[in-house]
Amino acid sequence: MVFAAYQVGGEKFLQWQLAMNLWSRFIPAEAGGAGYCVHPFWYFTPHTLAGFVPWTVYLPALAIYVWPRRGRKLPEAVVFTLFWFAAIFVFFSTSHGKCLVYILPAFPPLAVLIGITIDAAIVLNPSDPEVSSAEALNQSPTVSAPAVRRQRPKYSANRTA
């Protein structure tokens, strides 16, 4: 793909893409870096929280779920997904030139982490099979989210299709 773009745009494309868009965004404007889309280090934090609505209400539950405890080790999938999110978030936060679209790749790992947290809350409270994930989290001490009751079909082990 880069080769095709080089064929169309030539040296001008390489200068713009590599020098301007990739390298100079990490250099302060005072030192010769890109002077556009300059924002503070924390710029992506409020935008990530706002962009993740309505799932933002589950972030406190996620924080409690991943908080280190004695005798408990997080599953490898959770650790991998945490690092996946953190690598993207920290990498783009260190850039001086920040465009909002840069943080979009951080949303899939965050969604996976919320899904794992909801699943863990359901596993901790399996007493009622009709309890939705929102209710399970609401009943746990980790987060207070609006309870949404949904009816799940009742299946019997003796039932044939």
What single DSSP character describes residue 151? Answer: P
Rounded percentage of the chain residues whose pLDDT exceeds 90: 30
Which range of 60-69, 84-93, 115-124 scores highest in mean pLDDT? It is 84-93
Of the two residues 61 and 140, the one the predictor is more confident about is 61
User: To which residue do tokens 């405890």 refer?
Assistant: 69
User: To which residue do tokens 């972030």 refer?
Assistant: 59
With a CB cutoff of 8 Å and minimum separation 6, the contacts of 139 are 125, 131
Instruction: Give the three-state DSSP class for 97.
Output: strand
What single DSSP character describes residue 154? Answer: P
Question: CB–CB of 111/56 below 8 Å?
Answer: no
Helical ranges in 15-156 per DSSP H: 44-51, 59-66, 76-94, 107-124, 133-139
The answer, yes or no, to whether residue 84 has pLDDT greater than 70, is yes
Segment 22-43, tens digit of pLDDT: 666 667 666 656 666 778 889 8
- How far apart are the C-alpha atoms of 139 and 50, rounded to whole Å? 25
Amino acid at the residue 14: L
Of the two residues 146 and 117, the one the predictor is more confident about is 117
With a CB cutoff of 8 Å and minimum separation 6, the contacts of 42 are 93
